[in-house]
Amino acid sequence: MAGRLQDKICVITGAGSGMGRAMAELFVAEGAKVVCADISGKQDDVAAMLGDSAVAVGCDVSDEAQVQAMIQKAVDTWGRIDVLCNNAGFGGGMAPLHKQTLELWNKVHDTNIKGCFLGMKYGIAAMLKSGGGAIVNTGSASAVIGWKHHSVYAAAKAGVHQMTKVAALDYSDKNIRVNAIAPGTMWTGLVEASQKFEAPPADFPVLAGIPMGRWGTARDIAEAALYLASDAAAYVTGVVLPVDGGYSIGFSGMGAERPGLMSVNAEDE
């Protein structure tokens, strides 16, 4: 039986680890050819593991020339691009707004929203030439609801959400669908390293604010991306899909006192 992305040509940024790597692995398992793009160098190992169905590209998504080269790599290798996942991200630190720095603002916005803009700019141009495609942007639940001390990151991801909706309108008659995912608290390698947890802690305070009561996983996000990228979502565009265990719909009885979520998917998207 054919996979859900059989013979689709996909470009995934941030594919060296975390959610991006999970997307690359799942997409290939579903029949896709994948360009694994990342700034870290880890994309080479991921592509090697995936074999002939993947190629690696080093890419700083805030650099226009590198993004152009990333898209061109897909076209040169497989003739077109069908799916683009703008997943690379950077979260920076958590602090009240008056303690945030312009340096952090620039880094967070260069990676998250400028990177998404450049990916869509050149990805859409390629899709227009080949007859259409699907774009999946990685946003954040912090842009759906307020998270304390996340002003810089939330602003960038809110921009991703709104840019997704406007691009969906701009290209809905061109056979190009544009959607986004809004991850909540995710268990990724970054969390494990930064918090020095050996396994997802079941009693972590933030879980009290999540109706489903568990951490999200990279696979949870990859499955959502697969749906939005596939023909199963052929009539879906302009959607920001929360994948957060129910946090953004509210938590009965806790109101404003419910625990806020950590910025745990930053740099590992």
Q: Show which residues are catalytic.
A: 153
DSSP string, 146-215: --TT-HHHHHHHHHHHHHHHHHHHHHGGGTEEEEEEEE-SEE-HHHHHHHT-SS--TT-GGGGG-TT-S-
Residue 12's region, left for phi above 0, alpha for psi from -120 to 50, else beta, is beta
For residue 126, count CB atoms less than 10 angstroms from its CB and return exposed for 0-12, middle for 13-18, buried for 19 or more.
Answer: buried
For residue 166, count CB atoms less than 10 angstroms from its CB and return exposed for 0-12, middle for 13-18, buried for 19 or more.
Answer: exposed
Task: Give me the phi and psi of 217, to 5 degrees please.
Answer: -120, 165
DSSP string, 98-139: GG--HHHHHHHHIIIIIHHHHHHHHHHHHHHHHT-EEEEEE-
From 167, 168, 88, 74, select the one nearest 129 (Cα to Cα).
Answer: 74
Nearest-5° angle of CA 92, CA 219, CA 80?
Answer: 85
CA 196 to chain centre: 24
Q: Which residues pair with 85 in a beta bridge?
A: 12, 136
DSSP 8-state secondary structure symbol assigned to residue 226: H
CA 243 to chain centre: 11
